[in-house]
Amino acid sequence: MTNEETIAKAAAFMAEAEYCVLALLDEDGCPTAATITPSKTEGIRCVIFGNHRGSHWAQRAGRDSRASVCFNSVRPECNVTLVGTMEIVTDDPALKKEMWREWMALYYSGPEDPAFCVLRFETKRYSLYVDGQQIRGTL
């Protein structure tokens, strides 16, 4: 399998994932990790999340944009670890509407709710393990 095929398989796996692990640095500079549901992926380059502006994720990303996202599965055997930066998006109504999911109505009045924001993760480097092939690189 070529590196391009491995990257394509990793991207397809990410697009189907119901959750991933997001790691950010807390107020003491310590790494913290928790599961979160991605709203959208753009290959391995970008992962987008809908979230609350007051959430610990948004607060941490606001203090320090360095982040890591990990998608993992035992069957199929796949691990996608991405390292990059997180941006908090509050001023893009079209993106907020696109990232809106019906279940979010439990927490927000709609995508225009000022408490609703989008967290946009951009990959700088990656480590992929797919079907027995491991590759690492930068974007």
CATH of the domain at 97: 2.30.110.10
Residues 107, 52: contact at Cβ < 8 Å? yes
Domains held by the chain: number? 1
Residue 75 is part of which domain span? 3-132
The span from the CA of 67 to the CA of 48, in Å, is: 13
12-51 pLDDT per residue, tens: 999 999 999 999 999 999 999 999 999 999 999 999 999 9
138 is a domain residue: no
81-139 pLDDT per residue, tens: 999 999 999 889 999 999 888 888 998 999 999 999 999 999 999 999 999 999 999 99
137 is a domain residue: no
Q: What pTM was computed for the model?
A: 0.92
C-alpha distance from residue 101 to each of 30, 83, 137 (Å): 31, 26, 32
30 is a domain residue: yes
The span from the CA of 68 to the CA of 90, in Å, is: 21
105 is a domain residue: yes
